[in-house]
């Protein structure tokens, strides 16, 4: 009898856990049919965090972190009321930063950098309110400047 009760309890709890997943529809996150506000955390099967993000009134708001299955950070995102806003960073599975970008109210804004998987800077770009600006640079795998463009 205890085994049957235990199995029933586990089925109820697992149904509750799966019932708590967020739904994404029309650009908004919902929980139980209502716009969600709070922290959403998803996990890989191994238990490591896959994503942790803040949501306000159904829209991503604030810092969001995405992870590789090995537990290392994969991407940092920043939103304000569902719009890209702030610093975004990408890392490879070894934890090496491979990209850095900035947004202001959903437009590319500021300095953007791209590194290769060994951490060598390959590109430097600049934006102002979504428009290309300044001097853009590109380096080869040996660190030699190979292209320069002015906007």
- The secondary structure of residue 144, as a DSSP letter, is -
H-run or E-run covering 13:
helix 2-19
25-150 topology per CATH = Outer Surface Protein A; domain 3 (3.90.930)
CA 59, CA 57: separation in Å to the nearest integer? 6
At residue 87, does pLDDT exceed 90? yes
- Give the residue carrying structure tokens 């590789």: 68
pTM for this model (two decimals): 0.83
At residue 7, does pLDDT exceed 60? no
pLDDT in tens, 17-33: 333 589 999 999 999 99
Please tell me the least confidently modeled range out of 20-29, 59-68, 133-142.
20-29
**In terms of C-beta density within 10 A (0-12 exposed, 13-18 middle, 19 or more buried), how is residue 129 classed?**
exposed
Tokens of 57: 């009134």
Mean pLDDT of 121-126: 98
């Amino acid at each position: 009898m205890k085994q049957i009760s235990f199995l029933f309890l586990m089925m109820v709890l697992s149904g509750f856990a799966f019932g708590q997943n967020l739904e994404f529809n029309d650009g908004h996150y919902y929980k139980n049919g209502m716009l969600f506000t709070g922290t959403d955390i998803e996990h890989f099967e191994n238990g490591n965090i896959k994503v942790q993000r803040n949501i306000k009134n159904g829209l991503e708001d604030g810092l969001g972190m995405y992870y590789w299955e090995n537990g290392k950070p994969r991407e940092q995102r920043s939103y304000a009321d569902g719009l890209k806003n702030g610093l975004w960073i990408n890392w490879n599975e070894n934890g090496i930063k491979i990209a850095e970008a900035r947004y202001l109210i959903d437009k590319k804004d500021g300095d953007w950098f791209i590194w290769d998987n060994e951490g060598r800077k390959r590109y430097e770009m600049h934006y102002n309110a979504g428009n290309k600006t300044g001097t853009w640079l590109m380096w080869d795998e040996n660190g030699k400047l190979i292209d320069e463009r002015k906007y």
